[in-house]
Amino acid sequence: MLNGLRSLLALLACALLFASATHAQAPRENSIRAELFADGPAVAGEEWTLALHFTPVAEEWHGYWRNPGDAGYGMELDWQLPEGWEAGEPLYPVPERLVISGLMNHIYEGPYTVLVPVRVPAGARTGDLPAIAVEADYLACTDIICVPQQARLTLDPSNIARDPRFDRWRAAIAPLLDTEGRFAIWNELLRVAIPVPAALDLRAPHVFIGEPDLVDYTARQAFFRDGDRLIAEIPLDRGQVPDSLSGILSFGSGEGVRFTARPGGVPPAGTPLAQPADALPSVWLALLGALLGGLLLNIMPCVFPILSLKALSLAKAGGDKKAARRDAVFYTLGVVLACLALGAVLLALRAAGEQIGWAFQLQEPAVVVALLVLAAAITANFAGAFELPGLVMRGGKGGSSSFATGLLAAFVATPCTGPFMAAAMGAALLLPVAQALALFAALGVGLALPFLLLGFVPALRRALPRPGPWMVTFRCWMALPMALTALALVWLLWRMAGTGFALMALGLAAGTVLLLAVLFARRAGRFRVAGVLVALATIAGFAASLPGQQASPVQASDSIHAPRTFSEAALAEARASGQPVFVWFTADWCVTCKVNERAAIERDSVRAAFEDAGVITLVGDWTRRDEEIAGFLTDQGAAGVPLYLWYPPQGEAQALPQVLTPDLLAELARQAR
C-alpha cells in the first residue's frame, strides 16, 4: 500500500503541473519532442505500423514506460483514424530503472521510439484519405522537476515514404514470447513463471510489470531456474489478483522480451539465479560476516565448554605435533560438514516453497527437545555422572573422536546466534547454491578456527596450561554453562508450548541422563539391568506424554514501549502517520536479541526519548514459525534475527547494527523530533 500512496501523491503533483501547463497563456516548447512516422503506405487488410519518435532537447530529460513506476504517468494517445481503422496497444522498448528519493521510475534516457500497430480493414480506400492525427499526452522529467507534454501530430497517408530508421526502431522493441507464462500470488509475493530457454544467459534480470500498483517496485526481485522456465518472485504492493498479467523481462543492457501470463500453477522455486558481477563485493563481505559470526559462536555458553575441554585435551596429550594437526583437521571437517548439512536442508526447504530462515529448526518444539536432551547429557558428562570414552577429554584413534566432537560442537551451537550472522545468512538465501553453501562453510570455518589454530600453531599449544588435577575441577566448572544452556532450552519450550510440555521434556532429558549414567557407570553390578529398564520406562513415559501437553505459545512479556505486533499492514499504517517508527525482530531462542533488549531497548532513557519524539514501536516475534516475518526478513536481506529497522518521518528504512546501545536509539529519536 505504501507504493500505492506514493504513486497517488506523485500523480496529484503531476496533475497540478498538467493543469498549470494547460492554462498557460503562451505555448511552451516540449522538453521531449515527438514526431510521427509510418512504415510505408497503408495497405488494405494488413497491419500498418506507425512510430512515435521522442527526442529530449537535453540529456537530463527522460520519458516513461507505459507503467511509470512509483512516480509519473504513462503516455495517453487519442487517435483520429478513418472509420473502421483501429490502433492497437503501443509497443515499447525495454525501459531502465531510476530511483529518485526512494521512488522507482521506469524511464527512457535519450531518444526512444514507440511503435503503434494499426489494423487497416479489408477493402479500405488508402489512396484518398484525410490526415492521420494523434494527440499525445506524456511526461518529461529531470531528477528535479517534471513537465507535462502535449503534442498534436499529423501524417498524410497518401504521401508517405518509409523512414529508413524503422528497422532499427523495430529491433529495439522487446519481442513477444509465443508461449504464455503462469502467475500466482502466494505469501505476499507475485510469482511469475516465464518461458525462456535454460541456455539463455541472464546476468542482471529484472521484471517490469505492466499492471500498475500491483507490486512493490523498489523491492528486491528474486529469480530461480526451473528448466526452460524462469521463476520471478516480486513482493506485492496491494496484492489484488489480476485476470491477466503482462510485462517485460529485461536481460540488462537494453535487451529483453515481452511476456503475457495468466493465473495458474507456478512450480516451487528451483535453482537461484547467479547474481550480476557488481554484486560480487557483497558476496565477499557476506563470507567475511559468516566467518566472524562463526568465530564469535565460540564464546557462547553452549559452545565454549566443548571447545575449551577439547583444547585442554591437546595439552593433556602432550606435544605430538602430528596428532595435534590431525585432531584439528578432523574437528574442522566435523564442524564444516554439520554447517553444510544444515545449510543444504535450509536451501532445499526454501526451494520447495517454505518461508523459513536461519535457525528455522529452533522454531520446532521437537528439535528444541532434542537439544535439551543433548545439553542435559553433556552437562551430566562434564559433572562426572558418567564417562563417554574418547568424546571430549580423550583423543580417539584416527581423528574419529575429533570429527565427532566437531559435529557435536556445530549441533549444540544452533541455539546460539551472534552478530554478523543474520546478514550473512540472509545473503545465502539470495545467492546461487554454490555461493550460498560457501557461506555456510565459512560459518563452520569460523566456528572451528580457534581449535584449528591450536593444532597448527605450536606457540599457542605451548601457552596452554600444563596438565594436572586442576583439569578435573575445570571440567566440572564447565558443566555450569552447559546447565544454563539446558535451563534456557526449558524456558524456551515453556514459551513455545506451555508449562506441561516443558516439564515433560525435562523429564525426558532426566530419563536420558539416567540411562547414560547406568550404561556407562564404572560400577553398576547387578543393578545395571534394573537401572536400564527404569530409565527406558521413564523415557518412554515422558516421550509419549509430550504431544498431548503442547499448548499455545506463551504471550510475550510486556515491553515498556507497549509495541504493536508487527505486520506489513501495521507497518504501513505506522509509516503513514508521519511519525518515526522503530521495528525490532526477536525470538526467545536468540541470545543476541535478548541481550540487546535488556541492555538497550528496554531502558527508561530510551522510552523517554521515544515518547518525546512520538516514536511508534512494532515488534516481530519469530520464536515460532511466521511466514509473514520470514518473507519480510528475506526482503530486507536478512535470514534471521535480530533485525532492527528505524524509519524516520521522511525517508527509507535504516538498518541498525546488530549490537545496540541505548545512546544510539535515544539519538535517533532526538534527531526525529
Question: In terms of DSSP H, where are the helices of 352-432?
Answer: 365-382, 400-412, 421-428
Q: Do 294 and 414 fall into the same domain?
A: yes
Model pLDDT, residue 406? 82
Quick check: is 534 in a domain? no
Quick check: is 231 in a domain? yes
CA–CA gap between residue 111 and residue 33 (Å, rounded): 9
Give CA 177 to chain center in angstroms: 30
Q: What angle do CA 382, 387, 392 make, to 5 degrees?
A: 60
Beta-sheet pairing, 112-119 with 47-56: antiparallel
Model pLDDT, residue 668? 92
Q: Do 288 and 245 fall into the same domain?
A: no
Cβ atoms of 171 and 211 within 8 Å: the answer is: no
In terms of phi and psi (left: phi > 0; alpha: psi -120 to 50; beta: otherwise), the region of 188 is left
Ranges 168-172, 229-233, 411-415: which has the least confidence: 411-415
pLDDT digits (tens, 9 = 90+) for 291-339: 888 888 787 766 767 667 666 666 655 557 888 888 889 989 999 998 8
Confidence of residue 49 (pLDDT cuts 50, 70, 90): very high
* Structural domains of the chain, count: 4
Quick check: is 499 in a domain? no
Q: Is the pLDDT assigned to residue 1 strictly greater than 50?
A: no
Buried/exposed 129-163: b ≥16 CB within 10 Å, e otherwise: eeebebebebbbbeeeebbbbebebebebeebeeb
Residue 585 host element (H or E): strand 581-586
> What DSSP letter does each residue of 415-431 carry, written as one string?
T---TTHHHHHHHHTTS
Cβ atoms of 107 and 66 within 8 Å: the answer is: no
Residue 504 host element (H or E): helix 499-519
Quick check: is 613 in a domain? yes
Confidence of residue 23 (pLDDT cuts 50, 70, 90): very low
Query: Residue 144 is part of a domain; what is its CATH number?
Result: 2.60.40.1250
Q: Do 132 and 81 fall into the same domain?
A: yes
Quick check: is 514 in a domain? no
Model pLDDT, residue 359? 65
Nearest residue to 6 via CA among 217, 208, 235: 217
Q: Do 209 and 168 fall into the same domain?
A: no
> What DSSP letter does each residue of 431-493 carry, written as one string?
S-HHHHHHHHHHHHHHHHHHHHHHHH-HHHHHTSPPPSTHHHHHHHHHHHHHHHHHHHHHHHH
Q: Do 282 and 411 fall into the same domain?
A: yes
Q: Is the pLDDT assigned to residue 107 strictly greater than 80?
A: yes
CA–CA gap between residue 630 and residue 569 (Å, rounded): 15
Q: Do 117 and 97 fall into the same domain?
A: yes
CA–CA gap between residue 518 and residue 386 (Å, rounded): 8
Sheet of strand 564-565: strand arrangement: 564-565, 616-621, 581-586, 643-647, 654-655
Cβ atoms of 483 and 301 within 8 Å: the answer is: no
Confidence of residue 635 (pLDDT cuts 50, 70, 90): low
pLDDT digits (tens, 9 = 90+) for 558-592: 789 999 999 888 888 898 888 999 999 988 877 77
- The SS3 call for residue 84 is coil
Model pLDDT, residue 509? 94
- The SS3 call for residue 380 is helix
Beta-sheet pairing, 616-621 with 643-647: unpaired
Model pLDDT, residue 278? 47
Model pLDDT, residue 673? 78
**Which of the listed residues 153, 172, 191 is the one where a domain comes to its end?**
172
Residues composing the chain: 673
Domain that holds residue 377: 277-485
Q: Is the pLDDT assigned to residue 22 strictly greater than 50?
A: no
Cβ atoms of 14 and 107 within 8 Å: the answer is: no
Q: Do 639 and 576 fall into the same domain?
A: yes
CA–CA gap between residue 190 and residue 238 (Å, rounded): 11
Model pLDDT, residue 12? 44
Q: Do 43 and 93 fall into the same domain?
A: yes
Cβ atoms of 213 and 4 within 8 Å: the answer is: yes
Share of the chain above pLDDT 90, in %: 30
Query: Between the ranges 220-224, 383-387, 530-534, 599-603, where is the mean pLDDT highest?
Result: 599-603
Q: Do 14 and 156 fall into the same domain?
A: yes
Taking each helix axis as running N to C, give the angle between helix 433-456 and helix 421-428, from 0 to 180 degrees, rounded to the nearest 10: 140
CA–CA gap between residue 63 and residue 139 (Å, rounded): 6
pTM score: 0.54
Residue 271 host element (H or E): strand 271-272
Confidence of residue 94 (pLDDT cuts 50, 70, 90): very high
- The SS3 call for residue 211 is coil
Spell out the residues 6+ positions from residue 150 whose beta carbon is closer than 8 angstroms to its own. Answer: 21, 30, 135, 136, 137
Query: Between the ranges 124-128, 196-200, 610-614, where is the mean pLDDT highest?
Result: 610-614
Model pLDDT, residue 622? 85
Query: Residue 624 is part of a domain; what is its CATH number?
Result: 3.40.30.10
Model pLDDT, residue 33? 95
Query: Residue 204 is part of a domain; what is its CATH number?
Result: 2.60.40
CA–CA gap between residue 365 and residue 551 (Å, rounded): 11
Q: Do 109 and 191 fall into the same domain?
A: no
Q: Do 243 and 166 fall into the same domain?
A: no
Q: Do 288 and 405 fall into the same domain?
A: yes
Quick check: is 516 in a domain? no
CA–CA gap between residue 512 and residue 455 (Å, rounded): 34
- Enter the C-alpha cell of residue 277: 558481477
Cβ atoms of 310 and 386 within 8 Å: the answer is: no
Confidence of residue 156 (pLDDT cuts 50, 70, 90): confident
**Which of the listed residues 242, 272, 302 is the one where a domain comes to its end?**
272
Q: Is the pLDDT assigned to residue 615 strictly greater than 50?
A: yes
How many Cα atoms are found within 13 Å in the side-chain-facing hemisphere of 608? 5
Model pLDDT, residue 618? 95
Model pLDDT, residue 362? 75
Cβ atoms of 111 and 54 within 8 Å: the answer is: yes
Quick check: is 578 in a domain? yes
By the 10 Å C-beta count (0-12 exposed, 13-18 middle, 19+ buried), 421 is classed as buried
pLDDT digits (tens, 9 = 90+) for 461-506: 788 777 778 777 888 888 888 888 889 889 888 888 888 999 999 9
Residue 609 host element (H or E): helix 604-613
Nearest residue to 233 via CA among 258, 254, 253, 207: 207
pLDDT digits (tens, 9 = 90+) for 271-292: 777 555 444 446 777 788 788 8
Q: Which residue has the cell 546466534?
A: 417
Higher pLDDT: 106 or 83? It is 106
Quick check: is 419 in a domain? yes
Cβ atoms of 359 and 418 within 8 Å: the answer is: no
**Which of the listed residues 224, 242, 272 is the one where a domain comes to its end?**
272
